[in-house]
Structure 1
């Protein structure tokens, strides 16, 4: 992620204007040629390469973009709504973690005045959020009234009857907003993909491809990937792998975020794989790494995002192929933390997951409007916001994934889901997507009694004693234990958690005050803090 300086602002604006207007200019040029020269337009006036490119860009727009845009606007098939008791528990968890109800409502209603958010508007939002549908309340009206009444208590005043002009953000019901990408852009993506292939191969990773029959299922094409003889056991999911030979350490599974694939993480992965990281001089004591590729959020034209169950099943087959039933460290960044949330609740693989490292997590406190609003609805002002808006939010694959396959109540991650795992969460103080202050504050507090009871009722294989023990560990992290001097009142203020040393038990927070989303991967010093955590977890086989 770039910064917010004026130079970066003008740089990103020029890049966006240039890339976005390639197709319109090419179409206008082709139309002008036909209008002026008729059939003689087939004889070129500019160099052949230029006119060929213009024709290809025009054809790509009408033959690919236009039908693709229509295709991804189709309505999604929402998962079944949770049972009533599950909805009530989820609603209570959300309400228990809202500090500014008016700001919460206004942001979910796209900045509308609070007077325009009336009872029927709130019900419309709640139907999407907790019932996975739109339409009229119908038989669910009594339950909705309970939720509206609870919201009124949180708000501190009654919500007016009727319907106002406010429109809620309902991600999977609203239209899919996307912008055209030129052929030149996809050639750039293909070139970066080639650089990723070369760099990871140089650092000892092996690419595992899907079958030849799926060669044309992704654009830009990846011909160099078929130079490998390694096959993925999954139908859709490709990945990079480094063999695990250690008998005393845990291997690592890494899930990337929205972006141009694994390229922004190549330094991170190679340093994990270096003599200063997890590698030793003994070839029989090497730590294995699997880096999963999530193509629908990697600026490609490819298959739609897989369902939660399908993707978990494919990742499970990959992990079992290389690591068997051995425990592993699960590390993920941004959108990858959503997939981590699914894996933590996926019985065939959940028991194998050991320590967890979540970097710039979008899944924690997902009931707050910040992630959905900042990624999909915010009008960009600064350079980093324009970069996020054009290159990520408006990409067709990303937009389709978020608008048609991102069901927040499946993707949200609570502390109760982490209490059986040693966990490190990395947060940037300048994150333009995640409300990191709210996330850090939530993680730094002991698990609430309600959430502890919810965890106990949701887990049949764990005991309440285990939960209480984990709660004590989390509380011990908050108070820094009995082996350190008592802290002053100032040190125990709400900012104390930002400077808390990493301990490696319970839930740890790494706070990078000056970093934006994904910038932790940019510099060796900040990457090293993450690598040190993962290295310590790999050494810990308890």
Structure 2
């Protein structure tokens, strides 16, 4: 993530302005070219060099025959929402209800209104229907569940300390905006840049000692831009969709590491981190004591045109196929940002949870996901600073990311609570797991302060933390046991990977966890 300086602001705005206007300019060029064939107009276009004319024509064709049909198909695809039983829904509501530090902000932000006193009761009911019963909630279901919805509405009134006014406001809630999120056009020039970056990443990972495991040749043309170098690898992924980079594991005393990246441009931003992690784990290793690493590639959130994001159970199943293929019986789970969503699925699945040992979350978005911060910052916030424009255009407006968040992102499935982590406690030495969470104080997506307070303390007494001063929990020394926090006050989202002195403690934690066999 870039910074917030004026120079970075003008740079990112210039990049967006240029890339965003390629499609209309190339379309206008092709229209003029078409009209010239039928009308005797001055042919100023001859002054444009032929390579640029060819590029503009290709951009217009790509926009018309690829992007527009793709966007229409994505818009027509159904919204996935995890269904749960009334009993589980009750537990989920209680967990959410208990963990709301600012009730007025919670309701107002989800309903996208500025003043809490204008909130109407029917709007809150609409929010409850969307959040707990699914976006496709029908009228018949509404009648059947009316008593449950009414109970939850009354509980929210108690939470905010007043009765809600009857009626409904004419507003579009954050939930509606989330389900309607649409991606903007990406030019062939942009996908050429993605291809170049992907090629650089490919050679870097090879130099760092990783081997690429590709999907079948039948899947080759399901990813654009194409990855011709991947054809030449001798390794085949056992999963249908997931590709990954692998370092073999031969150690009998240490745990291997599974890494899941976040939204962006694939594994390229993590190559230095993976190199340093590989060196740390490989210190003093011999042929029969190497520590393995698997770095998954999640293509739908990696600035590609490809298949839709995999359903929760399919993703867990494919990851388990990969893990078992390499003979791993237990591993350290490391995830960044959106990767924490997939980590949450693994930790809550009976198929995969027994295989997961110590866990590291870096800039996680899955904790307190019922709060509106992540959805608002990613979907609804109007960008003002350089890092916000970078997130908005290159993140949330990417068509694959937009489809994933609008159609395949079920917060009911994706949220994770402290209880789901099964934290190791000293009274039960052989049970539970060690967990480290890495948070950045200036994170532009996650409310890191609130997430840190939730993780490191108790919300039982008004979100106080064991009666400690508010900042004491940020500076607790890391000891490698139980639930711990690495706090970086001055860093933004993903900046922990940018500097050696901030990567080092994270890598050290993973290395220590690898020794926990």
TM-score normalised by length of structure 1: 0.89
Q: Secondary structure at the match of 2:270?
A: helix
- Report the counterpart of residue 145 of structure 1 in structure 2: 150
Matches within 5 A, 1:321-336: 321-324=325-328, 326-336=329-339
Q: Does 1:426 align with 2:402?
A: no
Alpha carbon RMSD of aligned pairs, Å?
Answer: 2.0
Q: Distance in 1 between matches of 2:8 and 2:325?
A: 44
Q: Distance in 2 between matches of 1:150 and 1:102?
A: 14
The one-character-per-residue Cα deviations of 1:120-160 (angstroms, maximum 9, x if unpaired) are 10010111101113454322111111111111111011111
Q: Larger deviation: 278-287 or 396-405? A: 278-287
Q: Distance in 2 between matches of 1:386 and 1:255?
A: 25
Q: Distance in 2 between matches of 1:424 and 1:142?
A: 41
Please list every run of 5 or more consecutive structure 2 residues that lacks an aligned counterpart in the other structure: 423-431
Q: Distance in 2 between matches of 1:16 and 1:65?
A: 18
Q: Secondary structure at the match of 1:351?
A: helix
Give the deviation of 1:23 after TM superposition: 1.5
Q: Distance in 2 between matches of 1:447 and 1:63?
A: 53
Matches within 5 A, 1:123-134: 123-133=125-135, 134=137
- Report the counterpart of residue 168 of structure 1 in structure 2: 173
Task: Answer yes or no: is the 8 Å Cα contact 1:109–1:169 preserved in 2.
Answer: yes
- Report the counterpart of residue 115 of structure 1 in structure 2: 117
- Report the counterpart of residue 514 of structure 2 in structure 1: 538
The one-character-per-residue Cα deviations of 1:502-523 (angstroms, maximum 9, x if unpaired) are 1211110100000000000000
- Report the counterpart of residue 427 of structure 2 in structure 1: none
Task: Answer yes or no: is the 8 Å Cα contact 1:75–1:173 preserved in 2.
Answer: no
- Report the counterpart of residue 269 of structure 2 in structure 1: 264
Please list every run of 5 or more consecutive structure 1 residues that lacks an aligned counterpart in the other structure: 450-474, 480-488
- Report the counterpart of residue 23 of structure 1 in structure 2: 23
TM-score normalised by length of structure 2: 0.93
- Report the counterpart of residue 383 of structure 1 in structure 2: 386
Q: Distance in 2 between matches of 1:236 and 1:306?
A: 9
Distance 1:529 1:39, change over 3 A: farther
Q: Does 1:2 align with 2:14?
A: no
Q: Larger deviation: 336-345 or 172-181? A: 172-181
Task: Answer yes or no: is the 8 Å Cα contact 2:260–2:339 preserved in 1.
Answer: yes
Alignment size in residue pairs = 501
Task: Answer yes or no: is the 8 Å Cα contact 1:245–1:284 preserved in 2.
Answer: yes
Q: Does 1:526 align with 2:502?
A: yes
Q: Larger deviation: 101-110 or 54-63? A: 101-110
- Report the counterpart of residue 480 of structure 2 in structure 1: 504
- Report the counterpart of residue 55 of structure 1 in structure 2: 57
- Report the counterpart of residue 370 of structure 2 in structure 1: 367
Give the deviation of 1:81 after TM superposition: 2.6
- Report the counterpart of residue 492 of structure 2 in structure 1: 516
The one-character-per-residue Cα deviations of 1:292-316 (angstroms, maximum 9, x if unpaired) are 0000000000000010000100000
Q: Secondary structure at the match of 2:68?
A: helix
Q: Secondary structure at the match of 1:510?
A: strand
Task: Answer yes or no: is the 8 Å Cα contact 1:173–1:403 preserved in 2.
Answer: yes
Give the deviation of 1:446 after TM superposition: 4.6
Task: Answer yes or no: is the 8 Å Cα contact 1:44–1:51 preserved in 2.
Answer: no
Give the deviation of 1:261 after TM superposition: 0.1
The one-character-per-residue Cα deviations of 1:249-307 (angstroms, maximum 9, x if unpaired) are 10000000000000000000011111x44442422211100000000000000000010
Q: Distance in 2 between matches of 1:144 and 1:300?
A: 40
Q: Secondary structure at the match of 1:82?
A: coil
Q: Distance in 2 between matches of 1:378 and 1:72?
A: 23
Q: Does 1:182 align with 2:187?
A: yes
Distance 1:408 1:180, change over 3 A: same
Q: Secondary structure at the match of 2:235?
A: coil
Q: Secondary structure at the match of 2:393?
A: helix
Q: Does 1:397 align with 2:400?
A: yes
Task: Answer yes or no: is the 8 Å Cα contact 1:416–1:447 preserved in 2.
Answer: no
Q: Secondary structure at the match of 2:455?
A: helix
Q: Does 1:220 align with 2:220?
A: no
- Among 204, 208, 222, the residue aligned to 2:209: 204
Give the deviation of 1:116 after TM superposition: 3.2
Task: Answer yes or no: is the 8 Å Cα contact 2:80–2:409 preserved in 1.
Answer: no
Q: Does 1:100 align with 2:99?
A: no
Q: Secondary structure at the match of 1:390?
A: helix
